[in-house]
Amino acid sequence: MLKEVSHFCTHNEETLEVLKTHGIDQSTLCGDTRVDSVVISQGEKEIPENITGFNGDKPCLLLGSSYQKEESLVHKALQTGSLAQWKVIIAPHNIAQGRLDEIKRLYGDNCAFWSTIEDSDFNKPVLIIDSIGWLMHLYAKCDVAFVGGGFGKTVHNTLEPAAYGVPILLGPNFQRFVEAVTMVENEGAFVVNSLEVFKLRMRELEKEGLRDVAGNKCAEYIAQNSGATDRTLRVIDTFIQ
């Protein structure tokens, strides 16, 4: 059945080699169009000033598409004082009222909700994003991204923080996505599998120089893998002339 397909545009060299090994030569390495998507989407929304006001002069850790596991790790780290130098923004994967109530019970008076934030909330360590459609753009305002899902079936979108040159933390289940694997190998992303490892990574990333090095590795991945859309369209164009 695969041999009957007119042409394959592959994400990576490995896929191309698998196809050729099975005698499927009608294939071209084009890359992942999702990379272009996140680049195009940068700057589409202007982040409200209250985010900048909340962060103040402290570095910001953003939990993107988070679940209970990531939120619990951060809560425990806050309790031990190991995140005293950080502000924390949590954008949960699910913003149903039940989940928001659950997060509120976990953090208590230490958290505020974005929809009701006031200047008096700026001294709190945790801000909960209770609105959809902002996560990718909020990465522009953070210094480290902890992408959710890696303690469950698989990590969520790591391309979005990488597009802003932000170093990434993620749980141990990330192997399904070549970009996550590559960024871990290049030390732009770091695997967290316990509270102690999380605290260690955050201590390391308190140093702005180390954050810059790791963030640049992520940005390099985006730069090196951009242009897949144009390459794919050129292949398609040969079949519709």
The one-letter amino acid at 121: D
Digit-coded pLDDT (tens) for 219-235: 999 999 999 999 999 99
Tokens coding 218? 């992520």
State which residues form the domain around 218.
49-224
Query: Does the residue 146 lie in any domain?
Result: yes
Identify whether 75 is part of a domain.
yes
Nearest 5°: phi and psi at 79?
-65, -30
Report how far residue 104's alpha carbon sits from residue 102's, in angstroms, rounded to the nearest whole number: 5
Q: SS3 of 217, please?
A: helix
| Mean pLDDT, rounded, for 28-40 | 94
Residue 33 in this model has a pLDDT that exceeds 80: yes
Determine, yes or no, domain membership for 34.
no
**Section 128-157 average pLDDT:** 96
**Overall number of domains in the chain:** 1
User: Tell me, what CATH number does 97's domain have?
Assistant: 3.40.50.2000
Residue 186: inside a domain, yes or no? yes
Q: Are 236 and 30 in contact (CB under 8 A)?
A: no
Dihedral in degrees, nearest 10, Cα atoms 56, 59, 65, 69: -120
Give this prediction's pTM: 0.93
Instruction: Decide if 60 contacts 89 (C-beta within 8 A).
Output: yes
Task: Give, in degrees to the nearest 5, the angle at Cα 75 between 56 and 77.
Answer: 80
| 39 domain-assigned | no
Q: What is the mean pLDDT of the chain?
A: 95
The predicted structure's pLDDT at residue 43: 80
